[in-house]
Structure 1
């Protein structure tokens, strides 16, 4: 019967754990000085090293270069170690003889260590990574601790045990210790560049295995182990475990790395371990130093050297961080410079005194000033009539407020006015205090020209629709004048009252024609303080004839103290005429149109209310959209133009309507206090 056994990394790990449990159970079941203990211990070691060697040899054949060469070197090292274990087993168990020191097993063990060192060196050299001094300082600190402790607790006792004579046994012990230190250096170097090497998990098994072998060697050659036989029962299985861990790394290396892992978490954990290892070893050395009775020892010199390396490491770390921060600042500055100089909007920065600190290429193109001409000087391109507005904006910016999309006009270097939209924002220092002002200017001259053309087109449309009413209004006084002239032709003398009536009719004709011409004549945009009541009175003169024809009564609320607003009278007149025309067209059977004015401290409300047919609620949100209309012959441009005009005046227009009852249009315009000049 075939067992449902899946050969994966977990299965191999479980097998290693069971093998090590069996090894330790055997070791602690018998006396370490007995022959049966020696036979079982050597058998377990030999079988473990053989298993490791087979796993590595078989696994390395299926790998691609250059990983294959690395694992072949590791496999060769494991094979040498197996050769050492097998030779030891043959001499001690089969030949029942004492293993010579130095002897063939020592040569094979040293070859194994050499192969591991070569494998680590090959792995590091063949991988490209950024060279940094910080890992070298960490490695130097740990190597200083390891060398100091090895010199004090391993090398020194070995010489004392042999009477300070340099015997072959001492030589082989020194070679083992030196090779272990070199292997430790290689393992640390491999661990420090692990993030830049493929197959991180498999290499971790190798590093752990080699570190375990180094630790076992350190205890094995210490005088403490020579005087306590039971220590070998603990140490011998660790050599086998180190080989099995290395072989497990070889198996894991054949498994593709997951792309859905958590590399950031692993990197943070590895970085934490790297930071902790040097300090942990120094603390351990400090504890040993405090427990020693000697005033001056190798441990003390090692501790002092480690502290010096720590200081150098921190100095290098600060230098490296400063360099990285400087490069980041330089990169951000270059990025911002590129962004500022390649944007199509004009940007300039001024200090608290109004002096220009910086401009971009778009600023030079828009205004005409070059950097050499304007930097360090105030930018005097604001019309006198807008100076107070600009001061208000500056006060808002000093309060850490931004003023977005402010449409105005500015002078260029040549003295011409240009329509612009300006966004002004404060620049803060590290204390959140305003130290400068940044202005982003966009040229809207083309847009303004398009708007003017659209306004003029809509104005002509309104004039054409008003022509019938104007003609009707002029015909009545002309009829009266014609009658009096005919009487004069017949020799009838016209009395003074009749002459006064004729002059009154002529004045009325002149008034209507004048208002009509004002509306029809193209005029430049000229914002100034205007009286809304006066504008509504002028509109009433124009629309009364048409209102009378349609049986509509236009009523304006009685005059009250209404403040003037800052705007363009002709454009506002066009908006009001458009609203009133729509109200009149909504009442084909006649009705009333009421105009109310209300004011508070910040805005003026002009409300138009009619008794027309009303507008469906679903259509109200679309009012003002281009070409949306409920009229049979309408274009939808009238309300669109009206909304644009009100927006240019920094105001708002809203609609409220009920089907069968009428519509209310609210126009709100801001009240701006300007200087008397």
Structure 2
């Protein structure tokens, strides 16, 4: 509203078809507060509308009777203009129904002309202006905070005393992948990936300090794990409303993990090269000696050829392990080409078809629709997929296995989830899963998943594992999509 306040005076427009009423009101105002108000008068509904559209007055005094029109019509005009201003309605006699109609239409006050005196008029004007000023301040504040709520990149949730979610900003709905009505029928504890931390979070929430910058793991509606930090506290003690401001730090955490993994590969690669150099030199000498002995006459004991075979076989085995270690930790050259995701998954399943059939494993597929493309070295990606699929097959009971492969293409990435219903992995072992030589298999080298992680990282992808003992394991893989 454009307010005019010449020399600090408030400008008032009076719309009334009776000039005597104007003189009376003006006189009353000049008597009680001569230096505070400037009163302007128009005598018709039409002139009143034209004056309102200039938006140059602080307050409006409007007569209920304006020829064929009424003061209610004037109030409706304010609403149609989208113009908020304080309006006091005058009438010739008191009428409850007119009073109610005026208030519903937006009048700030209602005065009966025959009962007006200087003190009553000045008080009504002053109170109306003060009230309107406060309402404007509140509205401005509400708009500011509503804008923060709506436009914030952080997730903002409001929860009631039972920890049921009662409000969520657009960022929260988008990141958690819920519709409003779905999220509003949920409780805060449903968002946590780990049930064991929920009790601690709710207990802290009810303290004076609340929850300050604590890290938790959330699950989106689609089952995606999200790393988050939470600041939460009691917002309104009377209404028992809790405010939770949540930062999604999944991308930051992923980059930290990727950096750690890259550093681990660099260190492991150095160790592998050192081992290869220190082990292969004596191995070569031993193998040469064995070959020489085999060509020369051997003692007549029956065990001599047997011992030579054992030495030769184990030398070759050590050499093979060293080669595998080097390959699993070396950042090799890749032949990267744009490739569709679905055919790569289908080909990996075809290559593992014999094992799937042998163990009678049921395969469930839910692939990208429409398909997306990634930059990939086909041979290397197939090795990575096969290692995960074969691990899953070997972890499941024959005849009871169920392997699920889901692929979902989003705006800039593809998410692939490979899940088995096998024996699962303990939390302690999950932390060591991608380390060289770590294995639970009696005949495994422990280098398959190390190589898998190496391949996926070289493709600028990520790999994570979710597992519970006795329930199975999920490998979550992401790759950036290309146009």
Same-fold status (TM-score > 0.5): no
Bigger Rg over Cα: 1
Give the helix-richer structure, 1 or 2. Answer: 1
TM-score for both structures, normalised by structure 1: 0.29
